[in-house]
Amino acid sequence: MTASPASPAAPEPHGSTASGPGRVLVAVYGVFALAATARAGYQLVAKFDEAPLAYLLSALAALVYVVATIALATDRRRLAWAAVGVELLGVLAVGTLSVLDAGDFPDQTVWSVYGQGYGYVPLVLPFLGVAWLWRTRPRPAAVAGSRPAAPGDQ
């Protein structure tokens, strides 16, 4: 009995986003979720009128870190891709804008100057997230009984 060549290959199991080195990534995202949420909460309550744009961006960053943490910890890959993508776009956009026109950012956000206030971890973190999501992605399994073609095979 041979497998039908037209039958699709079942997806190969993938690594969980929260296993192995992913645990460290989830922990770092969790720390950033807590730090950004605390910072944004204080800024919004105590100082909102001083720099509303910066503080709203801090709140957005906090929300993104919370969603990314939950998505990576629970292996919700689509949500994780979305959160990490928004994070990457956010840190690049806010970082660039805060360098080009510092007047629009009278106070720091998590993503200001590419996360300078946090040791540039906000700039590196989404790249690590993308790399981990890519590395643990589901891959199609090889068709049973097939082998790679050797040179000279016809």
- pLDDT of res. 133: 95
Q: If you search the block for the tokens 């309550």, which residue do you land on?
A: 45
Q: Residue 96 is encoded by which pair of tokens?
A: 């660039």
Say whether pLDDT at 119 is over 90: yes
Amino acid at 65: Y
- pLDDT of res. 141: 63
The arithmetic mean of pLDDT across residues 130-136, rounded, is: 94
Amino acid at 41: G
Comparison of pLDDT for 2 and 69, the residue scoring more: 69
Mean residue pLDDT of the chain comes to: 85
Comparison of pLDDT for 8 and 98, the residue scoring more: 98
- pLDDT of res. 7: 45
pTM over 0.85? The answer is no
With contact defined as beta carbons under 8 Å apart, do 16 and 141 qualify?
A: no
- pLDDT of res. 105: 78
Percentage of residues in the chain with pLDDT exceeding 90?
Answer: 62
Q: If you search the block for the tokens 């296993």, which residue do you land on?
A: 19
Say whether pLDDT at 70 is over 50: yes
